[in-house]
């Protein structure tokens, strides 16, 4: 590896003489250029950026005047030149570097502001392959990295916030400190890394390479959180380039900052409520600790919310409420009767904000739309020293997918209940068992080490919910029971039958399938196999 040269220490204070600016997004450019000019900083620029600066009445030199070489090849070659990179990389206090600057008439560059071609925006807008390629910046990342490497002398800015820091420093002291330049350099390297990550990820997708040899993930910080899952853990929330509606892209209209657990739970709620077509039904999902505790559809949102709440009002306290339609005032007034951490909906009526204003800590999020549960993508999980990646679970079961394996055929109503229950089970932590009837969950058992215990918990929830409603019979009576993986033994299935379920839906595939089917027949159950497992660990 190259040895570090014996350079003199970089100065703590550097007074800028020359700035190079090249921008795609020119927001704030005129004001910044005027401030630099007023501070006696010469400005060098390219193309449209140079024209914008000149139009603001600020003197600006074309980069071609600096390089004495014309821009060529449709602008692909303009800054890749020794007079640019020499001016960026030169260690001003190193005698050999200073001599090279003089011998080759290279002017040092002290400030760089570059925001890169809009590659991420191009692919997010669905740009064609050729358009995406043309929006891969080459000279920009090269100049940013040169500047960041030579942060001992150069202040590199990759956004307006960085420029504002530099201008504030110049206004206060006439220059920049080494600490500021180091901070800007770290941000610059992160920006080019994220940019290259976006390019490599997109290119792999174009080649249908689901598992490229090298995987990079670029993300930008949305929020530094007070703590993580527990108060002794630090945490932050980042946004990737995935174009999927959800908590990372939502607008927060009121309430405290989201916590780490709020984000995780809200994401789970949004992904489940999106399974239900808002044109066909209003739907409500209530999530607690990443698991749904109540899910229901209804003719309108208020009925869907009320039915979901009745499934498990104890667990719903302090939960997350997700809705698949525009939130109205009447439903909002019902929601605030119960302590709720987060409410999320595609849109909200104006008077909803007035209702929630009295609950200043309640977070209200608007996503604009719902994620499409049938659109793929990747999900990640960290492990010690590594990262697991898999495609998003886009499985959806229809009546045509069901294989009826029992003597008794399910009724059309039971089939609808089975499909509803299996849809919810897909979003419940394994082992998962869900009872459902008439478009709502009756009982949910989540995260147990064996399926029999998950069934028992779901049965208990259904019984408690009925008692809370003043009903003599458990909500599980006449319900469909879904298991997200096969019943390995008849015991779990028999627990479901004892709870009152009349139909069962499960993937099948156990070596004990024959025993389970026989037990279902003996209990008079109708049972369908899906052939698809939907584990959620």
Of 369, 165, 168, whose CA–CA distance to 249 is shortest? 369
Note the maximum CA span of the chain. Answer: 96
Rounded to 5 degrees, φ, ψ at 366 are -120, 125
Q: How buried is residue 54: exposed, middle or buried, by Cβ count under 10 Å (0-12/13-18/19+)?
A: middle
Q: In whole angstroms, what is the distance from residue 323 CA to residue 270 CA?
A: 8
Rounded to 5 degrees, φ, ψ at 302 are -65, -40
Structure tokens of 85?
A: 């990179």
Q: In whole angstroms, what is the distance from residue 157 CA to residue 18 CA?
A: 14
Rounded to 5 degrees, φ, ψ at 290 are 70, 0
Residue pointed to by tokens 């026989």:
518
Task: Confirm if 533 and 486 have CB atoms less than 8 A apart.
Answer: yes
Q: How buried is residue 102: exposed, middle or buried, by Cβ count under 10 Å (0-12/13-18/19+)?
A: exposed
Q: In whole angstroms, what is the distance from residue 156 CA to residue 444 CA?
A: 54
Task: Confirm if 50 and 58 have CB atoms less than 8 A apart.
Answer: no
Residue pointed to by tokens 């909002």:
332
Sign, CA torsion 419/425/426/427: positive
Task: Confirm if 285 and 315 have CB atoms less than 8 A apart.
Answer: no
Of 443, 425, 451, whose CA–CA distance to 505 is shortest? 425
Cite the active site residues: 149, 289
Structure tokens of 530?
A: 């899906």
Residue pointed to by tokens 């009826």:
404
Residue 140, classed as helix, strand or coil, is helix
Of 503, 492, 398, 509, whose CA–CA distance to 449 is shortest? 492
Task: Confirm if 347 and 368 have CB atoms less than 8 A apart.
Answer: yes
Structure tokens of 55?
A: 């139009």
């Amino acid at each position: 590896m190259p040895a570090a040269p014996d350079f003199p220490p970089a100065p703590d204070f550097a007074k800028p003489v020359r700035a190079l600016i090249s921008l795609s997004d020119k927001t704030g450019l005129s004001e910044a250029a005027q401030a630099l000019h007023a501070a006696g900083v010469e400005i060098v620029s390219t193309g449209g950026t140079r024209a914008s600066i000149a139009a603001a009445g600020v003197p600006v030199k074309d980069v071609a005047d600096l390089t004495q070489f014309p821009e060529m090849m449709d602008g692909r070659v303009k800054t890749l030149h020794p007079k640019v990179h020499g001016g960026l990389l030169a260690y001003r206090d190193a005698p050999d570097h200073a001599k090279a600057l003089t011998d080759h008439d290279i002017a040092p560059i002290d400030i760089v502001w570059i925001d890169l071609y809009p590659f991420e925006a191009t692919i997010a807008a669905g740009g064609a392959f050729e358009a995406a390629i043309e929006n891969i910046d080459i000279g920009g990342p090269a100049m940013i990295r040169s500047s960041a490497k030579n942060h001992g002398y150069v202040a590199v800015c990759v956004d307006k916030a960085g420029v504002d820091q530099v201008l504030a420093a110049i206004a206060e002291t006439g220059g920049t400190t080494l600490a500021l330049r180091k901070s800007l350099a770290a941000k610059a390297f992160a920006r080019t890394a994220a940019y290259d990550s976006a390019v490599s990820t997109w290119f792999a997708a174009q080649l249908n390479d689901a598992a490229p040899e090298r995987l990079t993930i670029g993300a930008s910080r949305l929020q530094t959180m007070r703590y993580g899952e527990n108060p002794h853990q630090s945490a932050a929330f980042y946004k990737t380039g995935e174009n999927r509606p959800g908590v990372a892209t939502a607008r927060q209209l009121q309430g405290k900052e989201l916590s780490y657990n709020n984000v995780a739970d809200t994401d789970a709620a949004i992904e489940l409520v999106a399974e239900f077509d808002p044109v066909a039904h209003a739907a409500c999902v209530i999530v607690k600790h990443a698991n749904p505790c109540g899910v229901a559809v209804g003719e309108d949102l208020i009925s869907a919310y009320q039915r979901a709440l009745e499934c498990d009002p104890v667990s719903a306290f302090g939960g997350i409420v997700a809705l698949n339609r525009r939130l109205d005032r009447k439903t909002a007034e019902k929601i605030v009767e119960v302590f709720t951490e987060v409410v999320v909906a595609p849109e909200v009526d104006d008077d909803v904000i007035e209702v929630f204003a009295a609950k200043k800590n309640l977070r209200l999020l608007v996503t604009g739309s719902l994620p499409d549960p049938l659109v793929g993508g990747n999900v990640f999980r960290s492990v010690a020293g590594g990262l697991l990646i898999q495609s998003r679970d886009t499985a959806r079961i229809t009546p045509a997918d069901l294989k009826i394996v029992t003597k008794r055929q399910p009724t059309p109503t039971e089939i609808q209940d089975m499909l509803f229950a299996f849809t919810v089970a897909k979003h419940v932590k394994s082992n998962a068992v869900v009872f459902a009837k008439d478009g709502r969950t009756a009982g949910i058992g989540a995260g147990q080490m064996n399926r029999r215990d998950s069934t028992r918990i779901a049965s208990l929830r259904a019984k408690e919910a009925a008692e809370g409603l003043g009903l003599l019979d458990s909500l599980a009576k006449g319900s469909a029971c879904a298991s997200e993986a096969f019943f390995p033994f008849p015991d779990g299935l028999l627990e479901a039958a004892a709870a009152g379920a009349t139909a069962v839906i499960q993937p099948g595939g156990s070596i004990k399938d024959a025993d389970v089917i026989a037990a279902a027949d003996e209990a008079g159950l109708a049972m369908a196999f899906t052939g698809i497992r939907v584990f959620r660990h």
